[in-house]
Structure 1
Amino acid sequence: MHSKTEATHIDSRLSLQPLIAVLRQMIREGKPGAAALYAPLLARLDARPELLRPLQSPKELEPHRELADTLLSTLFPPGSSATEDLYAVAVPFSHETIYASVPFRDRFIVNDDHCIAEPDRSTATGIARASQRMAYNLILRQFYGWDLPAQAASVYPFEDRDSGLTHYLELKLDARFAEVSVQEGFELPTDYMVQRSLDIDDLRSTFPLEHFCFEGLVVINVDDVTSEQVISEIKNTLLNVRAFSDVSVYDELQRHVQTFLGLPHVTVGITPFFRIKGHYHFSELHYKNSLLFRNPEVQAQRAAVAARCAVLFAGAPGPLLFSTVTPRDGEHIELLPYYYNQGARSLILCPLTCDDGQLIGLLEITSEVAGYLRYPHLSRIQSAVSLFTLALEKSIEALAQEIDRTIKEHFTAVQPAVEWKFTEAAFQYLEQSAHDEESASLPAISFRDVYPLYAQIDVRNSSQERSTAIRRDLEEQLQSAHDVLQAAGRTEFPLLKAARFKITQYLAAIHDNLLSDDEMQIYDFLQDEVHALMEHLRAAKPELAGTVDEYLNSIDPEKKIRYRHRRAYEESITRINETLDRFIDKEQAHMQKVYPHYFERYVTDGIEFNMYVGQSLAPDIPFHELYVSNLKLWQFTLLAKAALLSQVLEKRLPLPLRTTQLILAHSVPISISFRRKERKFDVDGAYNIRYEIVKKRIDKVHTRGGERLTQPGTVAIVYSQQKELHEYLGYVEYLRSEGLVEGEPEYLDLEELQGISGLKAMRIRVHYQEHAAGNTQRAEKGGMRREDTHGEQGREAFAEGNIEKAGK
């Protein structure tokens, strides 16, 4: 057969000879079993010389169909199923098949003409481009000896004829059994290998395909990659979510989930629970795509329904399947009637929860057909739940930041390392505005292939210490108030006796377990009732004036509560943060001189900071990966010194607090983009999403032995690749020689986190000696160099110097 495909203009002829030649070669080389398998077949073919030359039409195979099918079946593994697998053999670079499995014929061959029907123009163009590239590879392989693949693979969407859902199929074309010949009148260039490249336009002009002919056959294998592709599509869609009010985004997500589950008749919704600074915030804008909040009854009691959802999934934290929803189900689960009244007869509810267990939303999948959703669908959707959770977390964070910025009218200053990029973007915007102000828009600000470095210094048990401080203040104030009321003795004022009774109850509650509701009741009681009684006693009983004044002097005059222990806690946190913040700023200024990089930090109960470094951040300064290694060593050194600082500072604090140090090792470059709404840089693209997930989830991670990874007096490094461990072990040796760390590293396996597995950690102790404290002042006065931390005197003097500077 001689054909010329319209899309690629490739001349081709069907020939069995290349395949027959391969079988003969296998027999000559003595491949095990080749002679027994193929010799009888080749003998039968030799008896039919008409099959050994190029064929004018596939119809010439029909008289020899059994023999041809036997030959072509050798192209596929013995385990291939003609009734399940998708495969075929076709004329080179043509749509016409000569051999195909039953599923392949059912899906791709519409009529009985053996021709593959392409689903749409876009797919046809993609296949044509892949075929064209493969044709050039064959030319370069055969005539120039280039080691190029004779295969091509690409993923295309195909609509399922029965369900109407989009399936993603990977088409793999194999042209190893095709040979190339040059038509008369065309001369191949002799020096192409030296002068040319694989640029497709260059190949077209150098090797016009109309001057070549391809003889043989092409093998086609098709794999269904719908699950993998849809997960990727969901990632990309969720990464582009800016607000959960975007209806078009939900339409797209619904199509993806329908395809992922293989169910065309499901409806998908997300109900977010925006809880910012302890309060739920409800807005119709954010509930356009919620199925639950479409119910008028739910809208009237949104906070109560949100609380019911939290209770429901506190006891059952995993997804729930209600294969068949009936009116009576509401007797057990209060949410179900809301869905039933909207027509849901089959339902899956997936809780979207933070690492601390807080419910931030629901992923809802419903159908009007009872029994439509079953356990296999529940199992499948669970692999995508973490993506919805992360997107919702990011949306809530963005909303909180937007509220905070609106209140404070805050604007984040641009760092010098990236100021040039913002200047460039602003210039382009002004240029556009000069031509057409209405259509002008700020260009995207992004940096490709930058290396991320993440670390955090956290105050150990800060929440627990804060709660303890509050409890001690309340206990002391209640006891003091009780003493004053007791001193008042018997009186005809019944409120005094009632107040003493309440105080006794509240002291018992504090000793048992102080809840937030109890805390607020005690505050109200002390600020209102007790304070009024004290004012009354001072006026009514002059003999108690001194005792009452003693009580009043022990409390904050504005807040009317005792604040001694909490003030000590807050002053200690502030002192730690200010000391470490100033120290990091000073060290960071030195590193910016080595190579410009982006640096940002966040201060809460401790400090966490991100760094990014790469050529795209400083295009005018040559970049080398040595700068990355240098920053990693600096970061490690910085955390070791920060641990030393906090250990020395601990003895000076009103409330002794300790810090933990953590580094996330990541050796693969990523891309970041500036998010204008959040006014910060964030990772860009689905491939980098794992890095962001790990960052969010390692601060409270435990080892498989149940111990918290981060411990005071140590630096912990989380990694996932063995080469990252080896790199940091080299840094450990150096820091040990510098006297900053001691002992042997601990190697730890970490617990599996939501959506993340396989993390490991190394932990090393920071070198610190208590008896060095007495030498502090002498070492400081003696003039300590900034980088000198050798010996106990050097380490202590380094710490003292930074603490003193932070206090000024």
Structure 2
Amino acid sequence: MNHPILNDSPFKTKISFHKLIESLEEIALTDVDYRSNYALALLEQIKKVPELFTGIEDYASINEHKQLIKHLLADLFPTALTKNEIKAITIPFQNLTFNYTDRFKTILADAGNAFDMSIRDYNDDQLYIVSCILILNTQYGQNLDYNKPLFYDIPDANGILKHYRILYNADFMEIIRTENAVELTQEDIDMLMDNYDDIALWKQKFPKESWILKGFGIISLFDASVESAISNLKTNLLRSDNQQKSKDDDIQTIFRTIFKIPDLKLGFVLYNEEENKFTTPPFSNNTESNSYILLEKEEEIICKSALFGCTLQAIINDKKPFIISDVDKFSIENASFAAHLAKQNIKSCILAPVIKNDKLLGVIELISSQPKILNSVNANNLDLLLPYVVETIERYNIDLQNQIEAVIQREYTSIHPSVYWKFRKEAQKYFQIQAPNKDYIFKAIVFKEVYPLYGQIDIKSSSNHRNETVKQDLKSQISQLITILDHLTENNKLQLLEQRKFELFSFSKELLIELKADTEQQIQLYIQKEIHPVLTNAKNDPKLQLLIDAYFNELDEKTELFYHARKKFDEAMSIINKKMASVLDKEQLEAQQNYPHYFERFKTDGVEHNLYIGQSINPNIPFDMMYLNNLRLWQLQTLCKMELEHHRLKPLLPYELDVTSLILVFSSPLSIRFRMDEKRFDVDGTYNARYEVVKKRIDKANIKGTLERITQKEKITIVYSHQNEETEYLKYIQYLQFKNIIEPEIEKFDVEELQGVSGLKAIRIKVINSDVAHKKEYTYQELLNELS
């Protein structure tokens, strides 16, 4: 083997034993005969190889004289300790080693010929810089503290990765300046101290081979596998899911290192105390499976499974590990559980509860295909690991609760970003001002002098459509039941069957008229109590049994009624609402860029939205009426886009539904207050309540003097009170007509008087949906993908 001692270093390395030889010369001059005679004989041999004193620069020379070198190092490598100590000669911060102790040789032999021994987490640049730091400390009197532990990671004969801590002895080394060395000033040293990662700077101040490293070092290793594995476990558990985890550092490998079991597999399940269930953890732990025993391929199990018997009781109630050292022997006590384990070739296992404050958080599963390899003795190794697992699960639970709270706030009790600052300010006061054992009274969150905007896109006649689909499903179900009863009466002359048929016919007639509020419930109860028992108890021929089976297969699991027409209607409603809401949400993000304002939307039989804009919502940005006008134009344009999107959706809907659109114009500023009991904003004050009254009643209003609704399908109705509002919106309409978005025709009319509200007027316009430029056809799959 012939290779350079160092690839790239500030040192020109000369492996020299000159200090050791000088020590031998001193021994040769002593009066101790056996010591001096040995030293003299060894020095005679050394004279024949002068480079052992002057310095070796070629590795081949070391190999050539390895026996002489071994004798020379005999005092440092005593034979009596060679099978215990892990020692060798080395040059610090290099991968060059030789003159191994027997134990070191065995470790390297077990690792295999392909193993390349290198220092963990050190690259060539880092080794270069560490060598420079050594020069600064020894030659320039610096005291730069660089104590990063050094490790070799070496696999044993079973493939288990062992971690060995590296210690250097540099007593037999010296550093010598060459003419190529750069003389450093304090300013140079300060610059190096502030630029550890600048390898170019270090190489400039310490050119390659500008210093001589003469002598040799002694490397000693000790097995720190458990300590290092625990450290790796802590690092691994602290990593987020999206951070890269190396194969050598995954949790399963760490457990194998600590337990010294090459085929050890690790599983983990969470315990849900509220539902008394074991569940799959949602976080990844780099194991092949989340659970091998308790869940296997299931997502969750109730903790009363008969399969596990006393196993679960020991874990849940007693909170003690359940250990099976020999599954075959255990089968005598619990054959079913043993069979469950044997099916996966599990011969020994440990189920260890993870506990915090006497509360069960989860269960760790350790399994092996070797009997007795896992037992009550090595189960104690878990005491080293469980504290970090507990800490991780506790941290995960806190993060999960925070995320759940965030989702609840976002989806159910959302505080819009535009007003969040005021809630945060009040919450900060709570923490700053509240006195111990004294309730803090939260101040009302009120925004004064804000301008409201209201709009909706509503599904036309949704109640009528819903009632019609209920009728269709009930008629279909009753018709199928009558057919089955007809077949039953062919071979069975029971009068009761004829009566049941008569009663079903009576329900059919009721469905020909307008559906009453309790009709569906009456029919449902009748079918469940009177008809279904007849079908389940009847003795049928195979043909009739097929009819009965087909009927029951069509029933909805929850209602035990037909749910075909209603399902199409509900799906159509859901698609429209989701698409309209997604368009509104996307456009709203852009609108917030112009001037921050409060926004909320609701899904009902359509999508409603409220907007409030004004200085009090954003005190840091001066408010101008231009921002209100701009938001009104944005609202009208957005409803046009929503109308157009619905027109594109209609051909793909499972049930045809039309929509109507409405905008309510209200030019007077008002105040809004956050209702703590309802967790939402509402207008504040008696005068402002008129606005809410109009909102609730306007969409069902008619054109004055007619029975025609003010809203129509595929049209947008703008309701207003004052002439200046009409003038403003006509300008917007003319602009959108110019942009080829709205059709030329404009309808104007008065709105009928509502209870407590009069003098309203309206404009009605239609969005152009026939222009090729507007067309964008969806496939049904694209639609589902977008909504998902």
TM-score of the two chains, using structure 1 as the length reference: 0.45
The structure with the largest alpha-carbon Rg is 2
Q: Which has the higher helix share?
A: 1
- Normalised by the length of structure 2, the TM-score is 0.46
